Structure 1
């Protein structure tokens, strides 16, 4: 984002409210946290710090300094960015604040392909701005427990594969496999995510063919990204995280439904909590070959904000 001489960038009058637009990096972290809590989002302060370190955006601030809205963009390499942290205070959600913030964010990402995961409340807004719905994301969460039939049993791995822990030396190979699945390079994001995470890699012929990461997030831990070419591979790299976190709160955001991977998640205590909609503008995000099980894909998102 172009440097500004002041954190004050614009202003708008919405009925009885007057807002100023500020660079989101000038806003106190506790105020952003309070805003996210007001709409029921589970972000910890550390989760917000991570997002601020990887994106740019704006906040709507009223005349007495309260932060009542936010919106951000996150560059992913190449010509692609995600949009996220689009929040408006509940009492202002029909006042046009979200549209005003989004207009400023979109001005900053001109010429880039865009993706986001929309709540039900925001879907109509994004549709009117030109975003197209592609798929449903299922937010699955709960107290983790291995399916009863798998307890005490050896891990069932795909033929000719081994499972091992991810190390820092795996970063380049992980970045390359994630690029194939995500369809945009995320080298910077993954290089910052890896030190915060523990992960497992599925190996065949000395190459990583699937992997997953788990890290602290929200109420407990989130497993993601999960990158694999099949349900069998995705389960193989996810199962160890379930086993090592039994009794703890886990979350997986996935687009998989009514397939072995989705059923494994449900049997592991991670029930459907909510859904959001993956939407795109200036180019489709999801490859039909991936949706038809013919290519490596994202079985679990890093987060709804980062995809």
Structure 2
């Protein structure tokens, strides 16, 4: 851990300390300043899954944050790296990142970078993996009878948990069971069963302005669309979001027709760069930008 617990950025002095649940209201205010949609309950969930630091100004206001989330002993994700607009050009983000990366204890790190953060992460030796497309909007009803896959979709059952954890592990390439278990507790889910075997799933939970779909694991785009459709129909007329690295035209067209046009593009990055093993299963949607 860097020993530098205070830093002067030009005429602005910050101190750094561990993030605690008592900071949630201040963290919510901070995320609002950069137009991020996280609610206090979203911050609270993240604090149950990871650790973080906050940067405070001389009168104790939280003006910067950063979190990391272990996935076993080898991997971690970094997220919620926020600096107030005043500090964005003064090196506050780099200072926060140095502290967070030191806590990760030589793990391979995955993060999702906004446009504003890309140059910072690139300077810290993170390598681009793929663009991630944020689709969101007011959900529009999908006629499921017109989809290529119309059978085998049912609601998630608690007995499905181990199958879902295994599918996610296979598709993502890293065991993140603790994260998925926590998301399952907050989610409604759909699974695809074929030949008495679960071969895909999609989860949907409250987040930000409405609900978010993710993660989604399936063998192909047709299966993924069939898994997502029940969640779209359940939230027709309400705000819905999905984050995907898919560039497949039919899949993206499906999201647009469902009322979720592309809103923004961010970048998945890793340090050091590594590649998942090939698998018959594929991740069609992130859990979130923070949790990958």
Report the TM range for the smaller structure's normalisation.
over 0.9
Distance 1:215 1:285 in 2: 29
Correspondence for 2:116 among 113, 121, 131: 121
Structure 2 partner of 1:109: 104
Structure 2 partner of 1:95: 90
Correspondence for 1:64 among 59, 62, 66: 59
Distance 1:258 1:211 in 2: 19
Structure 2 partner of 1:5: none
Structure 1 partner of 2:190: 200
Contiguous gaps of at least 5 residues in structure 1: 2-7
Asked if the contact 1:82–1:305 (Cα under 8 Å) also holds between the matched residues in 2, the reply is yes
- Secondary structure at the counterpart of residue 117 of structure 2: helix
Structure 2 partner of 1:4: none
Provide the aligned length of Structure 1 versus Structure 2: 291
CA RMSD of aligned residues (A): 1.8
Q: Tell me the TM-score normalised to structure 1 length.
A: 0.91
Whether 2:48 is the aligned partner of 1:53: answer: yes
Counterparts in 2 of 1:235-250, with a 5 A limit?
235-250=225-240
Distance 1:158 1:78 in 2: 39
Counterparts in 2 of 1:124-163, with a 5 A limit?
124-147=119-142, 150=143, 154=145, 156=147, 158=149, 162-163=152-153
Structure 2 partner of 1:255: 245
- Secondary structure at the counterpart of residue 64 of structure 1: coil
The superposition leaves residues 215-264 of structure 1 with CA deviations (integer Å, 9 ceiling, x where unpaired) of 00000000000111100110010011111111010000001124221110
Worse-superposed segment, 74-83 or 239-248: 74-83
Distance 1:262 1:80 in 2: 30
Counterparts in 2 of 1:1-307, with a 5 A limit?
10-25=5-20, 27-147=22-142, 150=143, 154=145, 156=147, 158=149, 162-285=152-275, 289=278, 295-307=280-292
Worse-superposed segment, 277-286 or 241-250: 277-286
Cα distance change on mapping 1:26 and 1:235 into 2, 3 Å: closer
Distance 1:22 1:184 in 2: 30
Q: Tell me the TM-score normalised to structure 2 length.
A: 0.95
Asked if the contact 2:191–2:200 (Cα under 8 Å) also holds between the matched residues in 1, the reply is yes
